[in-house]
Structure formats: C-alpha cells, structure tokens
C-alpha cells in the first residue's frame, strides 16, 4: 500500500517512467519530444533518488563521436531532505542522423555505502527524415579507387614536351643572363673610357646653360665616384663621401686632397643647397676629370710594374 502511494507521487512529480535499481536508488527518464527531425532540439530529463549521504555523478554530455550533441550545458537541480538525495539533470540535445538514436550519455555513478552504475540506455529519441520515402540521397556514393586511372599515351607525351619546353626556356634565360654579365664585365674593365664618355654626356646636356648648376656638379661627381668604385676596391659606391676620403687618404696613387675637396664641396651643393656659380661648377668638373686621369695613370703604371715583376 505504501509502495503504491510512493510510486504515484513519483509519477505525479514528473520523474518519468521509474527504473528500479535497488530498493534504495530509483531513476526516472523522460525524452521530450520523443520524435524530432534532424537539427531540432529535444530535452532528456534524468531524475535520481538515492539515500541520504549518497553522491550522484551525472555525465557531462553525449559522446563527441556520436551523431547526437549538446546544445546547452547540462542543468542540475538538487533536493535534499533527512531521508534521501533527489537530483535532476536536464540535457538539451540535437541529432544529426535519422532513425531511433541513443542519447550517447554515459552511465550515472551513485556512490554511497556501495557504488552503483545507472545505465541511460532507455534515453532514446526517434529522428524523422524530412526527405521523400523514395529518396536515394542518404545512400553513400561508392568508394573511389586508391590509385587514379592510367593516363593515355598522348597525355604523357604532352607532359614530356611541356617539360622540355620549360627546360629550354630556363636554359635560354640563363644564357641571356650570362651573356649580359660577360658584356657588363668587359665594359667595366675599360672604366676610364666609360667615365670619359659619361663626362661628355653630362656636359652635352646643357645644364649650365639652363641654370641647373647644382645638378651639373652632382652628375659629374657621380661619374667620378662610379669610376673610383670600378678601379679601387675601397671606394665602394655605398660609402659616404667622408668614408671614401678616410679609406683612400693613405693611398699614394690617389690624389686624396683634391678628391676630398671635390666630394665635400659637392655634398654642400647637393644636400645643403649651397649656391654655386657657373665658373665654380666648370672648375669642379675639370677637377673631377683630372682626378680620374691621374688615378688611371697610376693604375696603368702599377699594372705595368706588376707585369714586369712577374
């Protein structure tokens, strides 16, 4: 009589269909709604009643490898009195496959005087398909072969011709670059002739007649610096004027004093906007050409001495 009364009170409280485990632990499981479509949420409610002092451990959520996943975190409600521990867990889930699916929830563990595991195998939902009954979209496609099909002979021939064409293109580009490098090297060996040609080209531009005296001086001094970079290893074009002067001041074959005067005056004209007259611009151009000739004579004399010594 008392057991029937307790069972009626349990069902009235919304515990779902009771699953008797022992005389002390009871479980109720409900799934609402019990029929859904793919992607629609449903709620699994699990209520466990155990003796006072028991610890009830609910699973955190479905197995990540299943076709059911949680939408929200697990919600817990606890009721304790002098006789029992009453806890309820709610899981809001969605399913991504059709048919009768298990909720993929692990067992509940009740620890007290003894340790008991409560299976949630009855927590199932039916997932209804929204496709027509005669659809074949759910049937997987047949597996492809591991290796691709054999290419026809013309395909291999075309690939070979394309590879040969690419190789020929790379060889032609390398040959052109090598030819230009050799031509540039041959031209650089005659640095004095190149410098004289550049001096003449700058003078023929008519910059002094146009009033661009500063630009005329800058271009003539650039020709001087480029010549020195070709003839003297220490006169690298990336160096500043002061660095070139320090690098060449101890060399006997370089007119260091005249070179320093030309470079410093040119820097004042280029960077400090120092005014320069036509006469001074012509004089600096003559000095630049004179330094180039003197350095060339010293280089030729040194080369002749080296050849004689050899």
Q: Give 212-253 pLDDT, tens digit per residue.
A: 999 999 999 999 999 988 888 888 888 898 898 898 888 888
**Encoded tokens for 115:** 């340790």
Lowest-confidence segment of 152-166, 183-197, 236-250, 255-269 by average pLDDT: 183-197
Reported as a pLDDT band with limits 50, 70 and 90, residue 7 is very low
- Taking residue 188's Cβ as centre, other Cβ atoms within 10 Å add up to 12
**CA-CA distances (angstroms) from residue 232 to 190, 225, 250?**
13, 10, 13
pLDDT at 204: 94
pLDDT at 9 over 50: no
Reported as a pLDDT band with limits 50, 70 and 90, residue 5 is very low
Contact 35, 25 (CB under 8 A): no
Reported as a pLDDT band with limits 50, 70 and 90, residue 133 is low
Separation of alpha carbons 190 and 229, rounded Å: 13
**Encoded tokens for 291:** 């330094």
Reported as a pLDDT band with limits 50, 70 and 90, residue 122 is confident
**Which pTM does this prediction carry?**
0.40
Rounded to the nearest integer, the mean pLDDT of the chain is 80
Separation of alpha carbons 24 and 16, rounded Å: 18
Domains of the chain: 2-128 (2.60.40), 189-302 (1.20.120)
**What's the first-to-final CA gap in the chain, in angstroms?**
129
Buried b (16+ CB within 10 A) or exposed e, 36-51: beeeeebbbbbbbbbe
pLDDT at 185 over 70: no
Q: Is the alpha carbon torsion for 136, 139, 140, 143 positive or negative?
A: negative
Lowest-confidence segment of 82-86, 133-137, 169-173 by average pLDDT: 133-137
Higher-pLDDT residue of 224 and 99 is: 224
pLDDT tens for each residue of 54-65? 888 888 778 777
């Amino acid at each position: 009589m008392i057991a029937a009364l307790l069972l009626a009170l349990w069902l009235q409280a919304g515990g779902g269909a009771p699953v008797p485990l022992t005389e002390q632990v009871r479980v109720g499981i409900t799934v609402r709604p019990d029929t859904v479509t793919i992607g629609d949420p449903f709620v699994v409610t699990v209520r466990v009643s155990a003796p006072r002092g028991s610890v009830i451990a609910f699973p955190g959520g479905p197995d990540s490898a299943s076709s059911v996943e949680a939408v929200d975190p697990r919600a817990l409600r606890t009721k304790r009195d002098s006789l029992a521990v009453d806890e309820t867990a709610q899981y809001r889930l969605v399913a991504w496959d059709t048919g009768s699916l298990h909720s993929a929830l692990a067992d509940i563990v009740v620890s007290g005087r003894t340790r008991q595991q409560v299976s949630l195998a009855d927590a199932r939902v039916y997932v209804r398909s929204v496709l027509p009954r005669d659809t074949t979209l759910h049937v997987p496609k047949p597996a492809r072969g591991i290796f691709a099909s054999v290419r026809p002979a013309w395909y291999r021939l075309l690939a070979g011709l394309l590879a040969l064409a690419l190789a020929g293109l790379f060889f032609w580009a390398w040959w052109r670059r090598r030819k230009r490098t050799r031509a540039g090297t041959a031209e650089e060996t005659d640095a004095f002739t190149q410098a004289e040609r550049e001096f003449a080209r700058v003078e023929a531009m008519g910059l002094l007649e146009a009033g661009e005296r500063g630009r005329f001086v800058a271009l003539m001094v650039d020709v001087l610096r480029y010549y020195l970079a070709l003839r003297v290893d220490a006169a690298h074009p990336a160096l500043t004027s002061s660095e070139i002067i320090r690098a060449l001041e101890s060399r006997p074959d370089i007119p260091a004093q005249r070179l320093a005067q030309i470079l410093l005056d040119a820097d004042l004209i280029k960077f400090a906007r120092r005014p320069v007259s036509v006469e001074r611009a012509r004089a600096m151009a003559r000095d630049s050409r004179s330094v180039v000739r003197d350095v060339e004579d010293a280089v030729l004399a040194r080369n002749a001495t080296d050849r004689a010594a050899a």
